Amino acid sequence: MISYSFPGGTAVLTGAASGIGEALAAELAARGSHLALIDRDEPGLQRAGDTLRHRYPDLTITLHPFDLQQTAQIPALAQAVQHRHRRVTLLINNAGVALGGTFEEVSLEDFEWVQSINFRAVVAMTKAFLPALKTELNPHIVNVSSLYGLAAPVGQSAYSASKFAVRGFSEVLRHELAPQGIGVTVVHPGGVRTNIARSARIGSGVQATPAELQAQQQAMNRVLRLDPAQAARIILSGVEKRAPRVLVGTDAQVIDLIVRALPGTYW
Letter string b/e over residues 45-58, b meaning 16 or more CB atoms within 10 A of that residue's CB:
beebbeebbeebee
Residue 158's nearest CA partner among 201, 115, 195 is: 115
The answer to whether the CB of 38 falls within 8 A of the CB of 122 is no
Crossing angle for the helix pair 157-177 and 108-115, to the nearest 10 degrees: 30
Residues 56, 19: Cα–Cα separation, whole Å: 20
What stretch of H or E contains 245?
strand 245-248
Query: Catalytic site residue 159?
Result: yes
Crossing angle for the helix pair 19-30 and 42-55, to the nearest 10 degrees: 20
Distance of CA 9 to the CA centre of its chain: 19
Put the strands of the sheet holding 90-93 in their side by side order: 61-65, 34-39, 10-14, 90-93, 140-144, 183-189, 245-248
User: Whole-angstrom distance between the N-terminal and C-terminal Cα of the chain?
Assistant: 37
Of residues 4, 56, 159, 266, which has the active-site annotation? 159
Helix (H, G, I), strand (E, B) or coil at 189: strand
Residues with catalytic function? 159
